[in-house]
Amino acid sequence: MKKENIILLIIMIGTLMAAIDSSVVLLALPTITKSLGATLATSIWTILIYLLVLSVVTIQLGKLGDIYGRGRIFNLGFAIFTIGSFLCGTSASITELVLFRIVQALGAAMLGATSNAIIADTFDRQGMGRAYGYTSVGFSVGATLGIVLGGFITALIGWQYIFYINVPFGILAFILGIKYIKDDKEVKAHTDITGMILLALGLSMVTYGGVDFAANGLTNLNLGLVGIGLVICGLFLYRELNAKSPMIDFRSLKNRVLKLSIAAAFLQSVGYMSIVFLLILYMQGIKGLDPLTASLLLVPGYILTSLISPSVGKFADKHGSRLPATAGLLLMCAAVLLYYTLDATSSNYMIVAGSVIAGIGAAMFWPSNSRAVMTHADPTSLGSTSGVLRFVSNIGMVGSYILMITVASASVSRSQAFSVFLGTSNLIGGVSQAFLIGIHSAMLLSFFVLLVAAVMSWYRGKEDMDRKDF
């Protein structure tokens, strides 16, 4: 294999592992909750804390990659992620598991913050879209394995092994990374610790308030937490607009294509990243399917994403990202509308059809949009821009879960909603119909968010296909 293809393979492994652990806990959560004697409101933090850490530290780690070398940060990420995975498997309490998930997420953030920039360093403009297509393959395969393995491994050998399985692959990838991913580009950059602390506090309060609302309904506590969190997030934005070395340099995002591509990535995450979660709630809570059967109905879409992404990336290399990325978002809109029509008697084939449509849409959007961002970034801050792209996607994912859970659970009691979220009970009769209304409301909201994303994607305009400074 050529060296550049070996580097791409290593990055695909990193993307795959991080994607697995973004979703693998979902179907294992009921078993983890019972095994560790946790409360429902506490155990859901094994998912949310992972997403929060990714959101808070990714940009800073991208900057550290610019300063100290992207390969060094990337390879260190493999080591930390592997250690964190092992520690998660050894957890004897829910508190330990949440803490070790922080370690695991820190490693995943190092991988995610630098991977796009390493591709941009390694491949020329004519091959970059194809490379991002293959990283989409890694994400899709990882998301598929995460959903399937979460139920399969937990049922056969125990939930601990959904984490232990990362260890041998992490060690192998770390060894290959040390050998092949070297650093030849280092630039001056500055970190923004104050901004990172403000962001962490703001997001944590908003997230905790949202989870508490889903568990207990509207209270002075969760209302106050969300309000204070939003104020702190506002202070974060104010600092970023006025700091000399901000966490997010908005001045570098003036390029229209870059700015709207990042905005489209954010809205795509808000609108779509919790759709699988909602579908699992529907299939287990209303249809009464077991976790493994429910997950298998979603596999065809992920397989299609894996098969199509590289070809779409090559198309974007030749013709630009605007058309395939926008068409991909519109296909996701169509899939969500199909899901919106689901009821308690709908055929499982409708779920498969929606998965196929959404899978094609994802294959068209992700590699094309990533290419548009990285080819219009400042060549001296590729790590930072890669971090920003991951940051907005992760923030969107956190927001997607909180928003959709809140909307979907508003139609039933909080105890019933959380029981279904964790797969510990099925909904029947009138409760089933009420919860279905909640899921429909969440799907409708998702559709409109994705539609706005498609509009932004189209209005990014034509790309500078002849740019020479990259």
Q: Kindly state the DSSP code that residue 253 receives in the 8-state scheme.
A: G
Percent of the chain having pLDDT more than 90? Answer: 20
Both 79 and 167 in one domain: the answer is: yes
Find the mean pLDDT for residues 312-336.
91
How confident is residue 349, by pLDDT bands cut at 50, 70 and 90?
very high
Decide which of 133 and 352 is more confident: 352
Q: What was the pLDDT predicted at 420? A: 59
Kindly tell me if the per-residue pLDDT of 427 is higher than 50. no
Please report, for residues 150, 288, 338, 342, 351, the alpha-carbon distance to residue 347 in angstroms, rounded to integers and kept in the order given: 24, 13, 12, 8, 8
How confident is residue 243, by pLDDT bands cut at 50, 70 and 90?
confident
Kindly tell me if the per-residue pLDDT of 15 is higher than 60. yes
Q: What was the pLDDT predicted at 251? A: 65
Both 292 and 353 in one domain: the answer is: yes
Both 201 and 256 in one domain: the answer is: no
Lowest mean pLDDT among 107-121, 201-215, 339-353: 201-215
Q: Is residue 464, in this structure, part of any structural domain at all?
A: no
Kindly tell me if the per-residue pLDDT of 347 is higher than 70. yes
Both 272 and 283 in one domain: the answer is: yes
Please report, for residues 276, 335, 394, the alpha-carbon distance to residue 268 in angstroms, rounded to integers and kept in the order given: 14, 13, 11
Q: What was the pLDDT predicted at 418? A: 58
Find the mean pLDDT for residues 175-187.
75
Q: Is residue 27, in this structure, part of any structural domain at all?
A: yes
CATH of residue 424's domain is 1.20.1250.20
Domain finish residue from 208, 229, 246: 246
Q: What was the pLDDT predicted at 190? A: 63
Both 199 and 73 in one domain: the answer is: no
Q: Is residue 320, in this structure, part of any structural domain at all?
A: yes
Both 236 and 251 in one domain: the answer is: no
Q: What was the pLDDT predicted at 421? A: 54
Structure tokens at 319: 């013709």
Domain finish residue from 246, 268, 289: 246
Q: What was the pLDDT predicted at 85? A: 93
How confident is residue 131, by pLDDT bands cut at 50, 70 and 90?
confident
Decide which of 242 and 108 is more confident: 108
Both 268 and 375 in one domain: the answer is: yes
Both 207 and 274 in one domain: the answer is: no
Lowest mean pLDDT among 12-16, 158-162, 191-195: 191-195
Both 101 and 222 in one domain: the answer is: no
Find the mean pLDDT for residues 254-260.
82
Find the mean pLDDT for residues 102-115.
88
Kindly tell me if the per-residue pLDDT of 338 is higher than 80. yes
- Supply the mean pLDDT for the chain: 80
Q: What was the pLDDT predicted at 429? A: 43
Residues 277-296: pLDDT tens digits? 788 778 877 787 776 777 78
Both 220 and 166 in one domain: the answer is: no
Kindly tell me if the per-residue pLDDT of 469 is higher than 60. no
DSSP collapsed to 3 states, the chain: CCHHHHHHHHHHHHHHHHHHHHHHHHHHHHHHHHHCCCCHHHHCHHHHHHHHHHHHHHHHHHHHHHHHCHHHHHHHHHHHHHHHHHHHHCCCCHHHHHHHHHHHHHHHHHHHHHHHHHHHHHCCHHHHHHHHHHHHHHHHHHHHHHHHHHHHHHHHCCCCHHHHCHHHHHHHHHHHHHHHCCCCCCCCCCCCHHHHHHHHHHHHHHHHHHHHHHHHCCCHHHHHHHHHHHHHHHHHHHHHHHCCCCCCCHHHHCCHHHHHHHHHHHHHHHHHCCHHHHHHHHHHHHCCCCHHHHHHCCHHHHHHHHHHHHHHHHHHHHHCCHHHHHHHHHHHHHHHHHHHCCCCCCCHHHHHHHHHHHHHHHHHHHHHHHHHHHHCCCHHHHHHHHHHHHHHHHHHHHHHHHHHHHHHHCCCCHHHHHHHHCCCCCCCHHHHHHHHHHHHHHHHHHHHHHHHHHHHHHCCCCCCCCCCCC
Q: What was the pLDDT predicted at 226? A: 86
Residues 195-228: pLDDT tens digits? 778 888 888 888 778 777 766 777 888 889 889 9
Highest mean pLDDT among 56-65, 326-335, 435-444: 326-335
Q: What was the pLDDT predicted at 351? A: 92
Q: Is residue 470, in this structure, part of any structural domain at all?
A: no
Decide which of 136 and 61 is more confident: 61
Q: What was the pLDDT predicted at 417? A: 60
Find the mean pLDDT for residues 344-362.
91
Look up the domain containing 210 and give its range: 192-246
Both 294 and 235 in one domain: the answer is: no
Lowest mean pLDDT among 61-70, 105-114, 322-331: 61-70
Q: Is residue 346, in this structure, part of any structural domain at all?
A: yes
Q: What was the pLDDT predicted at 384? A: 66
Both 108 and 160 in one domain: the answer is: yes
Q: What was the pLDDT predicted at 468? A: 45
Residues 411-423: pLDDT tens digits? 666 566 655 555 5
Question: Looking at the 3D structure of the chain, how many domains does it have?
Answer: 2
Kindly tell me if the per-residue pLDDT of 185 is higher than 60. no
Residues 29-71: pLDDT tens digits? 777 887 888 876 788 788 878 888 887 787 778 777 777 788 8
Find the mean pLDDT for residues 383-411.
75
Q: Is residue 397, in this structure, part of any structural domain at all?
A: yes
Kindly tell me if the per-residue pLDDT of 177 is higher than 60. yes
Domain finish residue from 246, 263, 281: 246
Q: Is residue 468, in this structure, part of any structural domain at all?
A: no
Q: Is residue 187, in this structure, part of any structural domain at all?
A: no
